[in-house]
Amino acid sequence: MALILLVDDSSFARNLTGKILKKAGHELMEAEDGIAGLKALTTRTPDCIIADMLMPGMDGQKLLLALRNANNRIPVIILTADVQEKTRNDCLELGARDVLHKPPRPETLLATVENVLAKGA
């Protein structure tokens, strides 16, 4: 299947989301914040990035901005507990392919990942 970089400061959330993705056959890279996520990109190039929006250091929106400023077109899905429409729109304007509420339902997460992967970079 696909190589996915999962970026979240919560090891619990990474574990939960990671289990869903691994069960579907995806390979995972993990990072605890946006800075570690960018560093992980120097070793391998994932097919997709799933990032939490609120993290210490570099959050999901700053990660999106850093990727776009570097002309990196890896598709990004943002996970957030924030239900405000403005937050969703801000992430989409920065280039996120989709924004899902935490915790995502397994079927929603997998359908979103498959949709994003089908569209490519």
CATH number for the domain spanning 73: value is 3.40.50.2300
Based on the structure, what is the number of domains in the chain?
A: 1
User: Of 64 and 83, which is predicted with more confidence?
Assistant: 64
Q: Report the alpha-carbon distance of residue 49 to residue 75 in Å, rounded.
A: 6
Confidence at 99, pLDDT banded by 50, 70, 90: very high
Residue 118's pLDDT is 93
CA atoms of 71 and 93, how far apart (whole Å): 15
Label residue 121 by pLDDT band (50, 70, 90).
Answer: low
Give the model confidence (pLDDT) of 23-56 as tens digits.
999 999 999 999 999 999 999 999 999 999 999 9
Element (H, E) at 9: none
Name the one residue in this structure whose structure tokens are 């997460």: 109
Strand-pair category, 98-101 with 3-7: unpaired
Here the tokens at position 119 are: 């569209």
How does 45-60 read in b/e, with b if 16+ C-beta sit within 10 Å?
ebbbbbbbbbbeebbb
Residue 45's domain spans which residues? Answer: 3-120
